[in-house]
Structure 1
Amino acid sequence: MIQLNKNIDVVNLHREYSKNKRIMVDSVLEFDGFSKITEKLKHNIPYLNAYSLNGQYIQSSDDELKNMSPNKMRALQQTIYENASKGVGFFYGRYEITQNEKDELLKELFNYLNGQEVLKLISDVTGVKGLKSASVQLTRYVPGNFLTRHNDVLPTKQRAIAFVFGFTPQWHPDWGGLLHFYEMDGKLTETFMPKSNVLSLFDVQLPHSVSYVTPFARAARYSITGWFNLK
């Protein structure tokens, strides 16, 4: 059963969030729920590798990438990284969860994040009123993955608060996969390192990125990410 940690100090978290519109909340879930989700993220999730190619959003399965010829795979990577060098692009694994999810644990997770207990907590911490729903995806970053600098504003979805719920134990900062925040002019202001059972919340207008995961990273970076929306 998924449950919030009852010792979350909402008053102090709201005070901290108000300073820069971002915060990391430690030990969010009770252990049992956290442990089950961690195992689920690592096993039997059909992640799709998301990337942009010639202006089109594409998702390819692990098998589809493995079955590419070496020349085609090199050309694909070259194009992805060429776009990234210009500040445009991304490459990471994702699996979207919706209200039609068949897996029982993932369905419970989706319903819990969309439930009043969580929506009230996020509203109390951020001060944003009127949160109505959560959009949820599972994400996996392996060596070679990244997400270039951007913000998460999407008026048609009425996103308000972005979240990154970390399920990555013993991550080393030299491995990359760091959540960076920037000023509008590109100046780096703060970095959140991947951790376990930690919920990062930030205003969707804040420019941010996920740094390149190095070839020598010894683990994958697993998270539940998404947005709390006003509709």
Structure 2
Amino acid sequence: MAASLKIDPKIDPERLAPAFQAKGRLHIPDFFKGNGAKHVADALAGDVPWVRTMVVQGKGVEAPLAAWAMPSPQRMQVEAHVIQTARSGFQYSYDAWRISDAIQAGRRVGGKLEPIEAVYDFVNGEEFLGFVRKLTADERPTNSDAHASRYGAGHFLNTHHDGNADSGRLYAYVLNLTPQWQTDWGGVLLFQDDARNVTEGFPPRFNALNIFRVPQHHSVSQVATFVNAYRYSITGWVRRTVTAKPKR
């Protein structure tokens, strides 16, 4: 059954707009009305085609979890590379499912994954895009992408800014879908200034929307090694329509 995803009507984007404009980011609790967030969270905790994603030799790579779980010299070498590069540069390690890529390639699965796929439809629908336009006082948003993420013990996302003008990125969003989480477990969305001082942090509160203007330096703090739970979210960028440049 698809999730019924409706923004709580008590949330007024125009009233929240000054707070967003002040910092270029906002944490909005209790975003969905009813049980929509629970349906998506239940689906994320089920049988999702996760892959392990990371940076290897400067490029994002993905490995099927079944293969990644098998001990091998190659896996140990990659894990060592991830740890080494994370110490001084951009790196990440977590589980992902690229919802947008699958749907746009005609691979809707439906069934138990239908509530997750419904999020892609929601973030590309007028209810969400209209909400973002009013919140940001920006008429450019026309579409969004979406991918699911699962952070377990040791997973992290190092500091980056999401800047890519050619892709039409305007804003990043995070729909938090972890029913139970403690702040000292890690997995906190952190924002930094140009000197890399942490200026604000958003814990992954259930059914909260985090949205922020890009480019903007941010990271996800490493999930503590003692944690035996997963941090679930669906994230992506709200974009403007990009007109292809003529070939010369």
Quick check: TM above 0.5? yes
Report the equivalent of 1:76: 78
Report the equivalent of 1:11: 14
Deviation at 1:68, TM superposition (A): 2.9
- Residue 22 in 1 paired to residue 25 in 2? yes
* Structure 1 residue corresponding to 2:150, chosen from 106, 117, 140: 140
The farther-off stretch of 1-10 and 100-109 is: 100-109
Alignment of 1:50-199 (within 5 A): 50-69=53-72, 71-98=73-100, 99=103, 100=106, 101-103=108-110, 104-199=114-209
Q: Given residue 79 of structure 2, which amino acid in structure 1 is its aligned partner?
A: Q
> What do you get for the CA RMSD once the two structures are aligned?
1.4
Deviation at 1:97, TM superposition (A): 1.3
Q: Given residue 179 of structure 1, which amino acid in structure 2 is its aligned partner?
A: L
Residues of 1 paired with 2:116 and 2:187: CA distance?
Answer: 24
The count of aligned residue pairs is 230
SS state at 2:16 partner: helix
Deviation at 1:128, TM superposition (A): 2.0
Moved over 4 A (4+): none
Deviation at 1:2, TM superposition (A): 1.8
Report the equivalent of 2:36: 33
Deviation at 1:76, TM superposition (A): 2.1
Residues of 1 paired with 2:37 and 2:90: CA distance?
Answer: 34
* Structure 1 residue corresponding to 2:45, chosen from 27, 42, 47: 42
Q: Given residue 196 of structure 1, which amino acid in structure 2 is its aligned partner?
A: F
Residues of 2 paired with 1:184 and 1:158: CA distance?
Answer: 23
* Structure 1 residue corresponding to 2:219, chosen from 203, 206, 209: 209
Deviation at 1:87, TM superposition (A): 2.3
Q: Given residue 145 of structure 2, which amino acid in structure 1 is its aligned partner?
A: S
Residues of 2 paired with 1:45 and 1:139: CA distance?
Answer: 10
- Residue 223 in 1 paired to residue 233 in 2? yes
SS state at 2:32 partner: coil
Deviation at 1:21, TM superposition (A): 0.3
SS state at 1:197 partner: coil
Residues of 2 paired with 1:12 and 1:97: CA distance?
Answer: 31
Q: Given residue 195 of structure 2, which amino acid in structure 1 is its aligned partner?
A: D
The farther-off stretch of 198-207 and 47-56 is: 47-56
Q: Given residue 75 of structure 1, which amino acid in structure 2 is its aligned partner?
A: Q
Q: Given residue 191 of structure 1, which amino acid in structure 2 is its aligned partner?
A: G
Q: Given residue 181 of structure 1, which amino acid in structure 2 is its aligned partner?
A: F
2:124/2:144 contact within 8 Å kept: yes
Q: Given residue 173 of structure 2, which amino acid in structure 1 is its aligned partner?
A: F
TM-score, normalised relative to structure 1: 0.95
Percent identical residues = 27
Residues of 2 paired with 1:35 and 1:186: CA distance?
Answer: 35
CA deviation vs aligned residue, 1:82-124 (integer Å, no higher than 9, x gap): 1010122111111111243332333322111101111010111
